[in-house]
Structure 1
Amino acid sequence: MSKPPTTLLAPAERSASRRARKNSGRVTLSDLAALVGVTKVTVSRALNTPELVSVDTLERVQAAVRQTGYTPDLIAGSLASTRSHLIVALIPAMAGSVFQETVGALTTELAAAGYQLLIGQSGYDESREDALLDAVIGRRPAGIVLTGVIHSQSARQKLRACGIPVVETWDLTREPIDMLVGFSHENVGRAAADFLKTRGVRRPAVVTPSDRRAQARTKAFLKAFGNGKTLSSIPVVTVESPANLGDGRRALKGLLDTHADIDAVFCGADILALGVLMEAEYRDISVPEKLRVIGYGDLNFAKDTTPPLSTMRVDGTRIGTLAATMLVDRIENRAGGEPIVDVGFSLIEREST
């Protein structure tokens, strides 16, 4: 039979606990020690190394924690031990995002190593990202995971000077701030162009988000498909990041109004490709017979569209797993592997092309 929970505080003591919260804004370690009738050191041991205190003391401290709602001050604890177990990851967006696999892998791998992951949503505005980085660095996490390569010289300087291990992800550069796990967006754009050429495409168009990485894919696609043409001969529709399904539908409508002869669309995000497929179906344009469509991301719906969507896949799970491993190795002073890892990408060919 399980033992009933210890009841520690009498009504008068519970009232005192409520007054402590009201006066200070939070229950402190000192409040717990006073309520239990032991020292702060004893309470700290009960919370962090319970094997070092008696069963009776441990039960009394645990009862006080339950009844007061006490939460440990992790920042103060990390300062005292010079070790934080918090990792901060900054991503542009969460909803319907290609970064979800990476976040999931980071969470799992870091938790297994005894670290917690905190997510910051930076959006696609670099000035906002810089401000968020200032707030993150000031809280001295154990490590930082960034989406993309930081281009702001000020932010790069701050990150290098702060002494916190940093992993940049989802991009590639020869000069990372610290460590990097990513791939070449330019190579993605070139591969998409070369693939559509093999399918007999002659008059492609591009629908792309406005962020830096998507623009890199677009520029590489245009250059690879040029064949001596001016780049302006390939129509491009740019939509605000993060893109949505409606953007894809409106983009194809606009393209067909001005370039009715296009025979393929390279979409810088799968959600845009889904919108293009829906608009094509609405207009009774057969895919891929009259219009070939290829996306980027291989999101979970890509294989279930009508027809199933060809797309460029990046292994987000591997990115997250590698980033977590590299950070933990660095934090715990273990010998790691190469500081730059190119995970590459895959072209997933389905019926839309």
Structure 2
Amino acid sequence: MEDVAREAGVSLVTVSRAINLPTKVAPRTLAEVRAAIERLGYVPNLTAGSLASNRSQIVAAVVPTISNLVFSETIDSLARTLADGGYQLLLGQSLYRPREELALVNAFLGRRVDGLFLTGCSQDAALIARLRRSNIPVVQTWDLPSGPEDGTLVDMAVGFSNAAAGRLAARHLLSRGRRALGFIGAEEQRSRQRLEGFREEAAAAGVPDVAAELIRPPVRVDQAAARLAQLLARRPDLDAVFCNNDLLAAGVLFECQRRGLAVPGQLAVIGFGDMSIAEAAFPKLTTVRVHRGEMGERAGQLLLARLANKDPGETRIDIGFELVERAST
């Protein structure tokens, strides 16, 4: 900063103001300081600035994995919303491991992030207590606590009921006369919630036996074939499969084509997420649409409101979901 001040012929205070409070610097002086910064390649020390202002202008996000495209639209909308408010996004992946999520949160808190975006509402009690003590805005997504009094709610939430989404998938398949139902998904909390809702709805309709194949995450599309084979071995009469995401459902469609199984004639297939592959698949894939971009945008708006010391209004936002019926069912 001393070099910039000398180059521009101004004081250190003027350089500081030009960087942090440019509207309070005369236009000609501001131009001279910025030109000096450009010539010298000066980068302000943001860590020092955050210590002085108690703000880092950074929000951290934890997602299970960056390899699953289902999270990308949410993170993209979150990043855009935060950027409009003058904040940058720091991203980490937990790999579906609670210990890794805890390590990431500890690292982010240690780096004085201003807010946190978390995936899911299944954090353990110790982590929830720590987050509450941190006194920074926290928004949980891709799930919803049962209510504001739910102990899993850290601060704010934007999401939907995964169990209700599973019930919707079951109702659709049952309405099509399907009775031998199967499920393929990940061995993680939100997938289990969708399976639970799927089974509850089926049982209420007199279909108590839903065969399930759970895969240790991260889940890959090429795992769908083997899991479908195992379902068919257990239930030769299988006539419908609900997949925890559209990529798995696409893998099931590929395997059905390889085996000569007619979809939906012999086997109905429904996915989750309404990713672009659902519309491109053959046959086109019925799926449960989740408003992924809106989730990131609304989460970002809640964080920005709290960071600006404004009332965010509703702090538990259910963005819902909907069935998109296509040819596969």
> Fold-level match, TM-score > 0.5?
yes
Do 1:209 and 1:238's aligned partners in 2 also have CA atoms closer than 8 Å? yes
- 52-61 or 250-259: bigger deviation: 52-61
Q: Structure 2 counterpart of 1:155, which letter?
A: L
Partner in structure 1 of residue 217 of structure 2: 241
1:148-159 aligned within 5 A: 148-159=120-131
1:256-271 aligned within 5 A: 256-271=232-247
> For the structure 1 residues 56 and 112, does the alpha-carbon distance in structure 2 shift closer, same or farther, using more than 3 Å as the test?
closer
Partner in structure 2 of residue 296 of structure 1: 272
Higher relative contact order structure (alpha carbons within 8 Å, sequence separation ≥ 6): 2
Q: Structure 1 counterpart of 2:237, which letter?
A: D
**Alignment partner of 1:221 out of 198, 210, 228:** 198
- 90-99 or 139-148: bigger deviation: 90-99
Gaps of 5+ in 2: none
Cα RMSD of the aligned pairs, angstroms, is 2.2
Q: Structure 2 counterpart of 1:149, which letter?
A: C
**Alignment partner of 2:176 out of 178, 188, 199:** 199
* Shift in Å, 1:79: 2.2
Partner in structure 2 of residue 283 of structure 1: 259
* Shift in Å, 1:53: 4.8
Partner in structure 1 of residue 305 of structure 2: 329
Number of aligned residues:
324
Aligned-partner SS, 2:13? helix
> For the structure 1 residues 37 and 328, does the alpha-carbon distance in structure 2 shift closer, same or farther, using more than 3 Å as the test?
same
Q: Greater CA radius of gyration, 1 or 2?
A: 1
Q: Structure 2 counterpart of 1:216, which letter?
A: Q
- Identity %, equivalent residues: 41
Partner in structure 2 of residue 164 of structure 1: 136
**Alignment partner of 2:60 out of 76, 88, 94:** 88
* Shift in Å, 1:281: 0.5
Q: TM-score, normalised by structure 1?
A: 0.85
**Alignment partner of 1:129 out of 86, 93, 101:** 101
> For the structure 1 residues 62 and 315, does the alpha-carbon distance in structure 2 shift closer, same or farther, using more than 3 Å as the test?
same
- 49-58 or 273-282: bigger deviation: 49-58
Aligned-partner SS, 1:337? coil
Q: Deviations over 1:2-49 (max 9, x none)?
A: xxxxxxxxxxxxxxxxxxxxxxxxxxx345446656543232223233
**Alignment partner of 1:66 out of 26, 38, 42:** 38
Q: Structure 2 counterpart of 1:314, which letter?
A: V
> For the structure 1 residues 343 and 42, does the alpha-carbon distance in structure 2 shift closer, same or farther, using more than 3 Å as the test?
same
1:43-82 aligned within 5 A: 43-50=15-22, 52-53=24-25, 58=30, 61-82=33-54
Do 2:55 and 2:112's aligned partners in 1 also have CA atoms closer than 8 Å? no
Do 2:180 and 2:235's aligned partners in 1 also have CA atoms closer than 8 Å? no
* Shift in Å, 1:151: 2.3
